[in-house]
Structure 1
Amino acid sequence: PGISLKAENLGLAQMAEVPLVVVNVMRGGPSTGLPTRVAQGDIAQAKNPSHGDYKSIALCAGTLAECYTETVRAFNLADRFMQPVFVLLDATLGLMHAKATIPTLEEVKAGIVPRKQFNGPAEDYFPYECKPDEPAVLNPMFEGYRYHFTGLHHDKNGFPTEEIETCRKLIQRLEDKVALHEDEVESYEEFMMDDADFMIIAYGSVSLAAKEAIRHLRADGIKAGLFRPITIWPSPAEKIKEYTDKIDKVLVVELNIGQFHSEVQRASSRLDIDGLFKVNGRPLSPHEIVSKVKEIL
């Protein structure tokens, strides 16, 4: 069901370094789950959509406008890193109808970053001969440059190999081409965090409820703030660590049983991070978040 059916080809795209964008309106699970209800059940899967070692990129829209702008960004990132990029939504956003302010076509075109190409002689073209932290350079088809696609470990031409050092360098590069350039991928929002002494972490449509809850909490004298990861994977771990080092009370709110909560625990090196989870196909309300915060306090 859902994105699970695409796992094999997503792994092939990671290995062959084929740029593509996958828009995933998340659902509940396992199996068919609640396919027409709201959930954020694909967060962990977006980190490792297929077996093996690589660094997945997953963006999570939190507004209608971001459904557009994050998809544009995803295409740029897919071309930059030559791999699949997820745009994660949920049913609340997927079915939402409202006004949104989006960039003009001219602004979008101005922000497009062309994919790298090799312009030398065809006999000197080796698509997978790259620096240790750079992606493959796959020229457009039918222009005289030849290369081979495979899901197997491969050499600089793309042909299968089991040569020990070639295999090691390939897999390490698939990891490092993203891991060493996370600053190009990272994106997050801080809402009323300047003076916050209670941090809520939420993403997707849940962040909208969290913002409303924060307004109510502030009216009651509770200085709550929201940290919203827009790039889910790689997570903004350093920023999470920075905030969790100075804010004692932290609550992760999500429509699953803690799939990002465990990442916050890892990034913060803390096991006392609170969670508010819901997996019955219904959205989390601001009232539920307010009640949980007051319960913690």
Structure 2
Amino acid sequence: MLAPNLLLLGLFLLVPLVWAFVLSFQAKRSFGGGTWAGLDNYTRLLRDDVFWRALLNTAVFTAITVPVTVVAGLALALLLDKALPGRGVFRTIVYLPIVVSTLVTSLIGLLLFDESIGIVNGVLADLGLGAVSWQSEGSLAMVSVIVMVLWTRIGFAMVVYIAALQDLDQEVLEAASVDGAGKWARVRLIVVPSLRPTTMFLLVVNMVWSFQIFDIVYVMTNGGPGYSTTMLVTYAYDEGFGPARNFGYGSTVGVVLFVLTLLITALQVRSSRKQDG
């Protein structure tokens, strides 16, 4: 069974990856043959203001969504791990966005944050407050995207943490309680350190997801207004499949994105191993 699995891995992962790398060295603007461009696409990338804006947007987006997702997921897990009335219902409500397709999530985001008919602005109007320019003001457009992404991710982090909490040694927690350790002290000194592998897993996964964000951004803002919500993936898509059909340059952006994601993930894993060692 190993050989077929490796064949599928090579067919659907390695072949596209190698082909994208080859395309990044070509001036290719159609599905036909391209011409060899050497490092021209990469030198253009260094001078491309839109690329640097997309990189900054992606970094800011990642710096906000990753820690908020992990912290909120842990807080909800600690809260809903207890025997509370309606605990199962609350868990389901928080986790529900995970099972909803990202397209549906994106459409819900439009329904919520549309400047003209959006629910959020409707509620603000009922409260006597002015409408908010969710789609025509750059920072607010980014906020709307971040809110919807957090809505889809926190439930996953919560479920992963709850599963990890079930495996904690309850005798250690009970012994700490007998020794006079308060609830917060037990969480800070025992629970959180014990959950370090789970936290590292969630950090890496959410980091990769954030660098690969595409669908919610593309549906809600299409990278706008201007380039205020353009991410690396949306920029690569626009270059490769937009009006320019510049497959070579789009592949270059994709290769750089792949390398950045790989480096950041490797650094996080290395840092985790040093802490554990």
Structure-2-length-normalised TM-score: 0.24
Q: 1 or 2, which has the higher helix percentage? A: 2
Q: 1 or 2, which has the higher strand percentage? A: 1
Structure-1-length-normalised TM-score: 0.23
* Greater Cα radius of gyration, structure 1 or 2: 2
Q: Whose RCO is larger (CA < 8 A, sep 6+)?
A: 2
